[in-house]
């Protein structure tokens, strides 16, 4: 047991050293990349026909459940149907009659995976711009599969404003939340005409928080002076290294309260049925409870909703993928390697009842 513990600690140290080396290399390559001034990270738009994907899954399962004889008969029937359909279209075209395909509505599916800075906003913006150039108001729909625990106010304010563009054009907007849409994430979700969430998705957290350390007493103890010079009474209310005053705290809290008021007004305008004073306490609700307080409209996973949509519309996944730079690729590789190693170490300890 002692050997395993020592080995685990050694492995953890080795992983830490390797991660540190990778971070240094990534920083060096990033600096070199910036110096080159390359601008090839524009990316491109990808389109996926989800009806075909779901149909392939269904056909694949049905085929595997058949015996060899049944599979042969099934394949033969499908070929006959396709041949007959092709022959009918060819005959209609030969007769001179216009070949008109039935007009179906379209459901455009966008994904947003939010971090604290709402870094996906740029890709979301480009995807929305592309979709709005072809979407028909009153006929088409945009579905946003949203996952975010919130983050910076201005970042999520911009992301929410991008979704507002869809509503402003008269295109139906649906937000699907499978795991979490809290704080800034819920700010985005509430823009939608309809919010659909899984039973245990986390929603709400309509509140504002700010926190920062203060090292003034530590600096003072070591005879280190730190001066903050400002022009404007409220240019700097609280600082990390300077001495904070009660007046500064009051102003900082006042700004937080004002941000909270704006947040509540934003949600109330878009979901008037919600009792905003009851839900804007910073609390979170799981899907079932969120339905009770009208934070959402329906309990359903995004998969279920999109599979149903395939019966009535062409479902198209739209995704703007920015080309990752070499430093970003290295960083992702280092992060994945570190996470994998850490999980292995923790699993080894846990399996032996050390933790």
User: CA 346 to CA 354: how far, in whole Å?
Assistant: 10
Q: pLDDT, tens digit, for every residue of 289-308? A: 999 999 999 999 999 999 99
- pLDDT at 7 (0 to 100): 62
> CA–CA separation, 135 vs 122, rounded Å?
20
Separation CA 217–CA 242 (nearest Å):
9
Catalytic: which of 64, 94, 101, 235?
A: 235
* Active-site residue flag, 183: yes
Taking the whole predicted model, whether its pTM rises above 0.75 is answered as no
pLDDT at 354: 40
Q: Quote the CA–CA distance of 108 and 142 in Å, as a whole number.
A: 5
Task: Return the structure tokens found at 256.
Answer: 């937080």
pLDDT tens for 111-135 read 999 999 999 999 999 999 999 999 9
Can you tell me the distance from the alpha carbon of 73 to that of 247, in angstroms, rounded to the nearest whole number?
82
What pLDDT sits at residue 250? 92
Q: Which of 148, 155, 160, 183 is catalytic?
A: 183
3-state secondary structure the chain: CHHHHHHHHHHHHHHHHHHHHHHHHHHHHHHHHHHHCCCCCCCEEEEEEHHHHHHHHHHHHHHHCCCHHHHHHHHHHHHHHHHHHHHHHHHHHHCCCCCCCCCCEEEEEEEEECCCCCCCHHHHHHHHHHHHCCCCCCCCEEEEEEEECCCCHHHHHHHHHHHHHHHHCCCEEEEEECCEEECHHHHHHCCCCEEEECCCCEEECCCCCCCCCCCHHHHHHCCCCCCCCCCCCCCCCCCCCCCCCHHHHHHHHHHHHHHHHHHHHHHHHHCCCCCHHHHCCCCEEEHHHHHHCCCCCEECCHHHHHHHHCCCEEEEEEEEECCCCHHHHHHHHHHHHHHHHHHHHHHHHHHCCCC
The Cα 268–Cα 136 span in angstroms is: 28
CA distance 191 to 267: 8
pLDDT at position 39 is 45
Quick check: 344 and 18 in contact, CB under 8 A? Answer: no
Neighbours of 192 (CB within 10 A): 25
pLDDT in the model for residue 82: 74
Q: Which residue ranges in the chain fall short of pLDDT 50?
A: 36-40, 346, 348-355
What is the pLDDT at residue 355?
41
Q: Using alpha carbons, select from 147, 129, 138, 114 the residue that is nearest to residue 302.
A: 147
- 180 closest CA partner among 152, 209, 200: 200
Instruction: Judge whether 205 counts as a catalytic residue.
Output: no
d(CA 316, CA 48): 6
Whole-number pLDDT of residue 352: 44
């Amino acid at each position: 047991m002692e050997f395993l513990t020592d080995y685990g600690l050694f492995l953890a140290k080795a992983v830490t050293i390797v991660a540190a080396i990778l971070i240094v290399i990534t920083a060096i390559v990033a600096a070199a990349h910036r110096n080159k001034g390359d601008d090839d990270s524009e990316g491109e738009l990808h389109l996926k026909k989800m009806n075909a994907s779901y149909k392939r899954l269904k056909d694949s399962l049905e085929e595997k459940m058949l015996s060899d004889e049944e599979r042969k008969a099934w394949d033969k029937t499908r070929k006959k149907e396709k041949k007959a359909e092709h022959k009918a279209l060819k005959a209609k075209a030969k007769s001179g009659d216009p070949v008109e395909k039935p007009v179906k509505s379209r459901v455009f599916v966008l994904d947003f995976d939010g971090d604290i800075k709402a870094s996906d906003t740029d890709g979301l913006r480009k995807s929305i711009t592309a979709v709005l150039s072809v979407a028909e108001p009153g006929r088409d729909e945009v579905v946003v599969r949203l996952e975010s625990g919130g983050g910076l106010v201005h970042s999520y304010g911009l992301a929410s404003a991008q979704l507002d563009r869809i509503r402003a054009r008269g295109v139906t907007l649906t937000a699907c939340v499978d795991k979490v849409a809290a704080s800034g994430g819920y700010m985005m979700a509430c823009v939608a005409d309809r919010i659909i969430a899984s039973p245990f998705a986390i929603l709400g957290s309509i509140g504002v928080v700010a926190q920062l350390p203060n090292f003034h007493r530590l600096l003072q103890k070591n005879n280190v002076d730190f001066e903050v010079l400002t022009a404007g009474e409220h240019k700097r209310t609280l600082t990390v290294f300077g001495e904070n005053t009660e007046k500064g705290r009051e102003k900082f809290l006042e700004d937080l309260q004002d941000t909270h008021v704006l947040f509540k007004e934003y949600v109330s305008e878009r979901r008037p049925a919600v009792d905003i004073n009851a839900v804007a306490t910073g609390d979170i609700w799981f899907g079932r409870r969120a339905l009770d307080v009208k934070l959402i409209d329906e309990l359903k996973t995004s998969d279920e909703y999109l599979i149903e949509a395939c019966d009535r519309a062409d479902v198209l996944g739209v995704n703007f993928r920015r080309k990752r730079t070499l430093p970003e690729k290295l960083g992702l590789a280092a992060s994945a390697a570190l996470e994998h190693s850490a999980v292995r170490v923790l699993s080894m300890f846990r399996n032996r009842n050390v933790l």
